[in-house]
Amino acid sequence: MGNETHRHASLLHHLYAGHQSWLLDRLRRRLGNAADAEDLAAETFAHVVAHPDPSTIVEPKAFLTTIAKRLVFHFWRRRDLEQAYLDSIAGLPEPALPSEEERALLMEALLRIDQALAGMPPVAKQAFLYSQLDELTYREIAERLSISAMSVRRYVTQGIARCVAATL
């Protein structure tokens, strides 16, 4: 194993040494916060570490940018969902507040769902969620959203298909 492992490690080391400050600088500009930038830069390189064969990365900057962009997007979306969570629970009476553990489980699940449904128009998401979470009939959903039952059916199909595709 020795040689192969060593080659792998030295490749990774080159990648860090050559691009760490460049990546950090870009992330700082986008996030406006050094600590978050450091976290995301490290997370980006953690993806590189997981890459089966880093020697096939021909354009390191393009490769790192692609990963980092996706992470930045998820980072902001996570922030948004956390903010939305705080807003949503602000009005709840104390006994109904989710515990810390429930909160963590809920946020994990919501992030996965959010990613699966990303790109669906809001009304389509809403129709799917009414069906999936509130178990309303399509006629009830159509009434609430002032759309046709045919549209509801199409949106629910889209939602299920995306959730299934995301777990494949």
Q: How far is CA 81 from the centre of its chain?
A: 10
**Closest CB 45 distance from another protein, rounded Å:** 6
Using the minimum distance from each CB to another protein, give the nearer residue, 67 or 162.
162
Q: What residues contact 140, with CB distance under 8 A and at least 6 apart? A: 130
Supply the minimum distance, in Å, between the C-beta of residue 59 and another protein. 18
CB closer to another protein out of 60 and 132: 132
Q: What are phi and psi of 59, to 5 degrees?
A: -115, 85
The residue among 14 and 59 lying less far from another protein, judged by its C-beta, is 14
In whole angstroms, the minimum distance from the beta carbon of 56 to another protein comes to 19
* Structure tokens belonging to residue 72: 């930045």
Between 66 and 137, whose beta carbon lies closer to another protein?
Answer: 137
Minimum distance of another protein from residue 75's CB (angstroms): 10
- The 10 Å Cβ neighbour count of residue 150 is 10
Residue with tokens 């692609």: 66
